[in-house]
Amino acid sequence: MRNITLKQMRYFQALARHGHFGHAASACAISQPALSVQIRDLEAELGQPLVERGPRQVRLTAFGESFLARVTDILKQVDDLGDFARSARGAMMQRLRLGIIPTIAPYLLPRLIGHITAEFPGLDLHVRETLTPRLITELIDGRIDAALLALPISEPSLTEVPLFEESFVLVRPADEADRPIPDAQALAEMRLLLLEEGHCFRDQALSFCQTGRNMPRDGLDGSSLTTLVQMVGVGLGVTLIPEMAVRVETGSAPVSVARFAEPQPKRMIGMVWRNSSPLADQFYRISEVAKDVGLTA
């Protein structure tokens, strides 16, 4: 197995991720024939196929699945070696792949990016916005370095750092502004518009209403807070949004904003990264920057 290269492993990892030679080649910035040759050479070296080739996509073989797990671990450790070397000589990180959930990204990122780049001049910052389960998977696999999301995560391999707490507010049509603010029980009986399945904010809203995932649903499940607020504006129901989203989301719709009585529904925003990362000290610095930005929102 002397001829297996890191480049081949990265190409295979990209192919497994995209399930398509063309898409994987594009992600690796090489031609599709070149990628195909590298995968075939890797399979020849291993003595068995890694993928089943179909007309539109490829699937990993059973061996390919097992091989991918080992490749992912190896590549993560290789990436950590570079970070370890820079950390040992006191150098600043050169690249940060930061994940962030959609109910934070549009409201925190515009100010946060400027503060991070000021703290780390020359930093090559890559932002990945997606749902919490995907961020956790990508973080564990080494595809991102850290993530901003709602805590707790309760993953033993990850370090969690709480940053700041924020409340949820009620958004309802403008002509309902003078009505009493509903409590959790009354809210559960209203037409509550929620984010679609997979968003942790949806689960947090349902938890406040003390209703389960299987509550009767005749409203709208939206893919963004923007959609939900606009639907409230045309009278389809009410919704909850995090406080950091109020200024951005409510200015273009005829809605009113109300704050609940104590105890208010809240979430804890935090930053997470792998326990094994040699850049923990620098991640703590970034978390302090994010905390300061969040508290001054």
Give the mean model confidence (pLDDT) for residues 193-214. Answer: 79
Confidence of residue 89 (pLDDT cuts 50, 70, 90): low
Rounded to two decimals, the pTM is: 0.74
Q: Looking at residue 75, what is its pLDDT?
A: 85
What is the C-alpha separation between 229 and 234, in angstroms, rounded?
Answer: 9
* Residues 82 and 110 sit within 8 Å (Cβ to Cβ): no
Give the mean model confidence (pLDDT) for residues 14-39. Answer: 90
What are the CA-CA distances from residue 94 to residues 88, 117, 121 (Å)? 14, 11, 9
Domain architecture of the chain: domains with CATH: 6-85 (1.10.10.10), 98-164+273-295 (3.40.190.10), 166-266 (3.40.190.10)
Residue 285 has a CB neighbour count (10 Å cut-off) of: 16
Token pair of 199, please? Answer: 């968003």
Give the mean model confidence (pLDDT) for residues 218-229. Answer: 82
Q: Looking at residue 256, what is its pLDDT?
A: 95
| In the chain, % of residues over pLDDT 90 | 54
Render pLDDT for 243-275 as a digit per residue (tens, 0 to 9).
Answer: 999 999 998 899 999 999 888 899 999 999 999
Give the mean model confidence (pLDDT) for residues 145-159. Answer: 94
Q: Looking at residue 209, what is its pLDDT?
A: 79
Q: Looking at residue 79, what is its pLDDT?
A: 76
What is the C-alpha separation between 136 and 153, in angstroms, rounded?
Answer: 8
